[in-house]
Structure 1
Amino acid sequence: MRIKNLNLIKKLLLCLWIFASTQTQAQRQLTLKQVIDIAKGESPSALVAKNTKNNRYWQYRTFQSNYKPQLVLRGTLPNFNRAINPITLPDGQVAFINQSFAQNNLTLGLRQVISATGGAIWVNTGLQRLDILGDNRSTSFLATPAFISFEQPLFVFNELLWDKKIEPLRYEESQKKYSEDIEVLSVRATGLFFDLLLSQITMDLAKKNLANNDTIYRIAQGRYEMGRIAENELLQLELGVMNASQQLSQAQLDFQNNLLSLKNFLGNRANLGDFTLVAPEEIPTFEIDEQVALEQAKANRERYISFKRRILESERQVAQARGDNGIDINITGSIGFTNRAASFGEAYANVQNQQIFNIGLQIPILDWGRQKARIQTALANEEVTKSIVSQDVLAFEQEVLQKVRQFKILREQLQVSKRSDEVAQKSYDIAQNRYLIAKITINELINILKAKDDAKRQYLTSLRSFWSAYYELRQLTLYDFEKKETIYYQN
């Protein structure tokens, strides 16, 4: 009778396990690659990275516009004035005179900077009209059909030239930074994927362990009643059932927390619903050459461009310290045509030449070594920057090489841990059957169960370490070693 009851319990547990498995299979299954694709395409972090790239693009467009011709229309339409104003008379006296006039002016100018010299040149055309109001009404026009002007500072810092060297590097950094940011999402998604996968498998193990412990405990109750086992062994089995129940509760809590973390990272746009994760079983066999990884990292990474930019910025500071030396010589000049007349048509007839040329200067005589100190400070900062950049380059190269070597070791460890998991699972299946026919003790079964669970966790840990290292290496080099192509993302 007891044996029949035990068989009935085992059948019920088997049916429950099959039903639970069927429910799980009905859910959507997600692989590591699918989770990463969702993170790259639909996560909030991907949207932030995209907007950051677009923002930098428009900043660069703004910078480029500074070097292109600027067409500007200026005017005052009208300027009306009726007031008593102090006026200087021809004999030098000042008299307060009642004035009433209206003035209008309009100027169209085209300005172009010259980045090579730091100067500028512009072409203007304009017209002014002056209407004297009151008893002695009159109208006059001042026309400037064409007027060419230039401005050229000498012996000063040329900001335009240095910006033209540095800003394109900043823009190139931002483009590569976007690809890096997207690959960083792969790394983060991998970590969250395996957090959830580990808790999912731990929960499944806890369910199976609880079912197995309960089955063994019920069988042991029958043996105890028949006097075939001691009470101590039965109590150990009862304790095992309670521990398995507690482990299942904790595993379910961990699973829910990790599920929420992954869903929050992927965002609402993914519309995932209920799903289960599928562990990546296939281990990639492609080889990664250290030299190739290093070359690709130098060619593709934003950080390597930043090394050049930082050195250029230190050189810019030296040039600025030398240029801001207090010597200010500014050459300005203009040439064009102008005329005044009582009518619009006459203002553009018989125009006269107009030339203006000016050299302004300011030269410091005594500054007590201030300028020399500024230059020496900038030179010292330049040397410090170059030293730091040299160290950063070495650290950058070392990081890439270490990651390649780590990847190779982790692949070997993964192969070993995968085989260990298979052996441990098979060993437990054999041990469970042997215990049911009283060939091994309960302590031996518990130890084998622990070894099986430890092997499974070690395999999952190795799996996580391997794939994390792989995507970190992709992010470090922006290179797909499997497809042998550069990683570059566009909006």
Structure 2
Amino acid sequence: MNRFYVICFFLGLWSVQTGFAQTQQKYTLQQIISLAKKESQVSLQANNRKENLYWQYRTFLSNYKPQLSLTGTLPNYNKSIERITLPTGEDSFVPRGVVNTDVNLELRQSIGLTGGEVFINTNLARIDLIGDQTGTSFLSTPISIGFRQPIFGFNQLKWDKKIEPLKYDESRKAFSEDMERIAVQSTDLFFNLLVAQITLRISELNKANNDTIYKIAQGRYNVGKIAENELLQLQLNSMQSDQQVTQAKLDIETSQLSLKIFLGNNENLKDIQLLAPPTIPDLTIDESLALSEAKKNRARYVQFRRQKIEAERDIARARGNSGLNVNLFGSYGFTQNAQDFNNVYRDPQNQQRLQIGFQIPILDWGRQKSTIQTAVANNKLVQSTVAQNELNFEQEIILKVKQFKIFRSRLIIAQKADDIAQRRYDIAQKRYLIAKINITDLNIALQDKDNAKRGYLEALRRFWKNYYEIRQLTLYDFEKNEPIRY
């Protein structure tokens, strides 16, 4: 009779397990991460930020290249009564009608070293009188070369040349960090669903086992082999299994929906089935390597350098905008006027201009000094804040690397514990069916098996999440031994 019960039990177990072997498309952790990097909304946002910052950098580069522009007025019509000075020296109000037309072509080049500008231009202007007195006149400037140069002032171009390349480098590395952050988020969502799916399989298997054992126990109870309380305990186990299956199905729906939304709600992902990472990688991470790669690859360290330079720039701006400011303008060219277009370019005359403007603060009640000292104090604050942030960041990396070693060790132990607990439960099942142990021992073995499986899955989650967090913090692939670039 006992042999018959055992055969029935394993036939039931086989039927449940074959139900799990349905043909479905299954995804690994790496495949889910790859999908998220390509199709998730977070990935699209990261790409948009990258593109935005790229064009900002292109705008900065254009500031140091020649700029060619064409400006003009076509036309400017004015008919009004205006005040004019007569040849006798008297003023009089007379009606006038004037049409002004002009066009100017200018090529200018900024000078980053000095903050000034050189230019070359040519222009042509025409005036048409309308009314009682009519006439046309032209004014030409065939060529004019000049410069504009602030002296003692703040040179924005010089500082932009130091800061903007750092911003662009920071944005490129930040994009790589965004991609690795997606990997961390994907890992969390992956294991949420994986745990739910495995929990459902365990719950359904436990339910099948409990139902089969309960049916066998009914037969044994009827012949007086077991007590009623043991039968009731088995019935309770079967009912609890039903609740666990229902809860596991709900957890799967919730976790699957969260993962689908994160992956961009792809219509092809109707029923996501996941595969647990099969092996534990034989991988060690050196703390010194992680730190050195983080300093080379992370946007945070570029940000630290940029913040220091920006603080120094603010001091230079405060000093440059205080005290004596001088603006120098000069040009040399040719000009001519005529009553008709054919003569306006004949025998041009020299045109020379020189202008020196200055501003000297005399009384400002300490405003300029306060502005400078504020910038100096802010620079000290930035220096100390950056130094502290560097220490915090290094500590975070060291802690993550130490955790990686611990999590890997725990994962190996959890994997062995899961295997041992499963084997122990299998033995306990067989021994219970031949009445070698009681129901209490069987329940303990069942609980230990389920707890060991949950512990293994949690250890697996922590290991892989920690690994991808280290990748994000260092932008270094420790499996391929190369920096991460996107």
Q: TM-score range by the shorter chain?
A: over 0.9
Shift of 1:482: 0.8
Shift of 1:323: 1.1
Q: 1:179 to 1:10 in 2, by over 3 A?
A: same
Q: Deviations over 1:417-469 (max 9, x none)?
A: 10000000000000000000111010110011000000000000111111111
In structure 2, the residue matched to 1:69 is: 66
Alpha-carbon distance in 2 for matches of 1:401, 1:10: 52
3-state SS, counterpart of residue 268 of structure 1: coil
Unaligned residue ranges in structure 1 (runs of 5+): none
* Pairing partner for 2:187 from 171, 190, 205: 190
2:260 matched to 1:255? no
Q: Deviations over 1:90-145 (max 9, x none)?
A: 34432121212322111101111112111112111011111223344322111100
2:38 matched to 1:20? no
In structure 2, the residue matched to 1:422 is: 419
In structure 2, the residue matched to 1:83 is: 80
State the TM-score, normalizing by the size of structure 1: 0.95
Unaligned residue ranges in structure 2 (runs of 5+): none
Alpha-carbon distance in 2 for matches of 1:214, 1:102: 102
RMSD (Å), alpha carbons: 1.8
* Pairing partner for 2:337 from 317, 337, 340: 340
2:401 matched to 1:411? no
**Is the contact made by 1:42 and 1:270 (CA closer than 8 Å) also made in structure 2?**
no
In structure 1, the residue matched to 2:144 is: 147
Shift of 1:270: 6.9
**Is the contact made by 1:166 and 1:309 (CA closer than 8 Å) also made in structure 2?**
yes
Alpha-carbon distance in 1 for matches of 2:278, 2:10: 31
Structure 1 window deviating more from structure 2 (361-370 vs 186-195): it is: 361-370
2:317 matched to 1:320? yes
**Is the contact made by 2:200 and 2:248 (CA closer than 8 Å) also made in structure 1?**
yes
Q: Deviations over 1:242-287 (max 9, x none)?
A: 1111111111100110011111111234722323111112111132
Q: Deviations over 1:71-98 (max 9, x none)?
A: 1111111222232222222344321212
In structure 2, the residue matched to 1:297 is: 294
In structure 2, the residue matched to 1:131 is: 128
Shift of 1:289: 1.6
In structure 2, the residue matched to 1:245 is: 242
3-state SS, counterpart of residue 303 of structure 1: helix
2:212 matched to 1:203? no
Shift of 1:358: 1.3
Q: For residues 90-239 of structure 1, what are the structure 2 equivalents within 5 Å?
A: 90-239=87-236
Alpha-carbon distance in 2 for matches of 1:55, 1:199: 40
Alpha-carbon distance in 1 for matches of 2:130, 2:77: 10
* Pairing partner for 2:376 from 373, 379, 382: 379
Q: 1:333 to 1:298 in 2, by over 3 A?
A: same
Alpha-carbon distance in 2 for matches of 1:388, 1:427: 56
2:281 matched to 1:284? yes
Alpha-carbon distance in 1 for matches of 2:30, 2:261: 18
In structure 2, the residue matched to 1:436 is: 433
**Is the contact made by 1:32 and 1:193 (CA closer than 8 Å) also made in structure 2?**
yes
* Pairing partner for 2:363 from 356, 363, 366: 366
In structure 2, the residue matched to 1:268 is: 265
Shift of 1:15: 6.0
Letter in structure 1 aligned against 2:64: Y
Letter in structure 1 aligned against 2:204: K
Q: 1:41 to 1:270 in 2, by over 3 A?
A: farther
Structure 1 window deviating more from structure 2 (324-333 vs 30-39): it is: 324-333
2:456 matched to 1:459? yes
Alpha-carbon distance in 1 for matches of 2:184, 2:411: 18
Alpha-carbon distance in 1 for matches of 2:70, 2:432: 96
**Is the contact made by 1:38 and 1:270 (CA closer than 8 Å) also made in structure 2?**
no
**Is the contact made by 2:196 and 2:255 (CA closer than 8 Å) also made in structure 1?**
yes
Q: Deviations over 1:163-215 (max 9, x none)?
A: 11111100100001111101111111111111111111111100011111111
What is the aligned length? Answer: 486
Alpha-carbon distance in 1 for matches of 2:115, 2:267: 52
Shift of 1:368: 2.2
Alpha-carbon distance in 2 for matches of 1:43, 1:378: 43
Q: Deviations over 1:310-344 (max 9, x none)?
A: 00111111111111115321111111100111121
Alpha-carbon distance in 2 for matches of 1:465, 1:241: 32
Letter in structure 2 aligned against 1:186: A
Structure 1 window deviating more from structure 2 (85-94 vs 217-226): it is: 85-94
Letter in structure 2 aligned against 1:249: T
